[in-house]
Amino acid sequence: MFHNLKTFVRSHSKAAILFCFLYFIMLSSTPKNVLCSAKCPQYKVILFDSYGTLIDVNSLIGTIRKVLNSTDPIQSQVLLDSWRTKQLDFTWLRSLMKSSAKDSYADFWTVTKDALKYSAEKFNISMTQSQQDELMNAWLRLQLFPDVKDSLAKLKTKYKLAVLSNGSPRMLREVFKSNGLDDLIDPTNEFSVDTVRLYKPHPYVYSLAERKLHVSKSRILFVSGNSWDAIGAKAYGFQSVWLNRIGEPYPDLGISTDFEISNLHQLADKFS
């Protein structure tokens, strides 16, 4: 090949230079993080995160407004944003603090309740126990994103579908049941971090799915609407998809996810 290239360059120097220039321009301009061509690995399982991926946490906003009897949409959104942020903060802190001497794990229901109490206190929002209970129970009835059911139905024709979530087993079971997902995702393929008493993005959490499914990581495609989760899965060794629903910038942590999409229809159209 190289001998032929040298001969070509000697006899067609100007044309060769132009060809090489255009060729390398083409390579450098090939888009990254696009859904792959026919050379995609032969996945057996598509593994989804739950909250922010299939389940719309922002569907809590109506319940928050009702419970607070608030006509101020900003107050309700600020409370929800803080609640979700501290919920994740507390999961990461508990995982980091865990040691052989002390198990700092608390399940996602407890963490979520603690995050609500923190956020209410931060914004001087007084709530009765009944109001707190109503807000907590709303996590069991969260709504799906509108692209979920159609997309999962298409993907199910070719792949086993599974879920790996920070949610406690009860939280997952209730919200999936209330949304009628049992026909699309077998309840036995809903995996909670409770089993390992750690939270994502700890590598051992991702290994849970591999062990439960009896499928090697190279045959699993992981999908998350949370960039930190998609990056954590990629760091573990999964092929990963960041479902960037709201057009956020990519956090540069030195690890790139394999694909980036803006909705689940794009995933289903490519892989079903």
What mean pLDDT is predicted for residues 245-266? 97
Measured distance CA(46)–CA(205) in Å, rounded: 16
DSSP string, 230-244: HHHHHHHT-EEEEE-
More confident residue, 3 or 264: 264
Q: 45-54+145-271 and 57-141: same fold? A: no
168 burial via Cβ count (<10 Å: 0-12, 13-18, 19+): buried
**Domain ranges across the chain:** 1-30, 45-54+145-271, 57-141
Beta strands in the chain (DSSP E): 45-48, 55-56, 143-144, 160-165, 190-192, 220-224, 239-243, 259-261
pLDDT, residue 221, reads 98
22 pLDDT exceeds 50? Answer: no
193 pLDDT exceeds 80? Answer: yes
Q: Is 133 a catalytic residue?
A: no
Tokens of 220: 């699993």
Which of 248, 249, 245 is CA-nearest to residue 225? 245
Say which amino acid occupies 55: I
**pLDDT tens digits, one per residue of 56-112:** 999 999 999 999 998 788 999 999 999 999 999 999 999 999 887 688 999 999 999
Domain 57-141: what homologous superfamily? Putative phosphatase; domain 2 (1.10.150.240)
More confident residue, 38 or 237: 237
Length of the chain (residues)? 272
198 pLDDT band, cuts 50/70/90, is very high
Please name the residue that has the structure tokens 């992981």.
222
pTM to 2 decimals?
Answer: 0.85
Count Cβ neighbours within 10 Å for each residue of 22-55 and write b for 16 or more, e otherwise.
eeeeeeeeeeeeeeeeeeeeebbbbbbbbbbbbb
**pLDDT tens digits, one per residue of 100-134:** 768 899 999 999 999 999 999 999 999 999 999 99
Tokens of 205: 């959490």
CATH of 45-54+145-271, one of 3.20.80.10, 1.10.150.130, 3.40.50.720, 3.40.50.1000: 3.40.50.1000
- Which of the following is catalytic: 49, 56, 107, 194? 49
Are 174 and 192 in contact, with CB atoms under 8 Å apart? Answer: no
